[in-house]
Structure 1
Amino acid sequence: MVRTRPPGLRSAGEGGKRQNRTDWDLLTPRELHIAHVAVEGLSNKEIGRQLHLSPRMIGAHLYRVFPKPGIASRGQLRDKLSASGACPSCPRARLLSLTAQLE
């Protein structure tokens, strides 16, 4: 017997955990942390030293990070993270928050 969801639950907004997810919700905490550090302009080797991981492991994490929000480079990662506010330490995000405070 195949169980199905009773009619009307989906339209009532029940059962859908993915409704308010952002691109950044798709990342694991480790991937998000590595993305934040990569945005600062560090190489894989420098990130690896900082997080006690090998440069190859950093590269593997970034390889899995890039397709999730639909980006292809660290520059796009920086722009997308800072625009979304998911990276408060990003230079662009800091500039936007300072501008908002002045207004």
Structure 2
Amino acid sequence: MSIHIYRGFEIHPLIYPHNRAEDGRAHNYEAGFDAAVRICIRGTDATQTQARTFKLVDNSPFMNAGDARRASLQYAEDVIDAHDGGQQVLCEAG
């Protein structure tokens, strides 16, 4: 899994096939991919102190895993920027 650092946050893109695999069958990657992103803050001793996962909501799946990964990274950066890079990014929405 790839980890990206942005404004002090760890960003973990979470990419998965759009359709679930049926029992005994392989994933249908031709159906596209969905994406989510986990945004984390680490403490001074490198332990995870807070994290939150956001699912990207799109009307259609991404055509390939690369597009889904890029979209999840951009989404995380937008969320962080919208909160001025503060820790309130990880607060539960009310």
Q: Provide the TM-score with structure 1 as the length reference.
A: 0.27
Higher helix share: 1
**Which has the bigger relative contact order, CA under 8 A and spacing at least 6?**
2
Higher strand share: 2
Structure with bigger gyration radius: 1
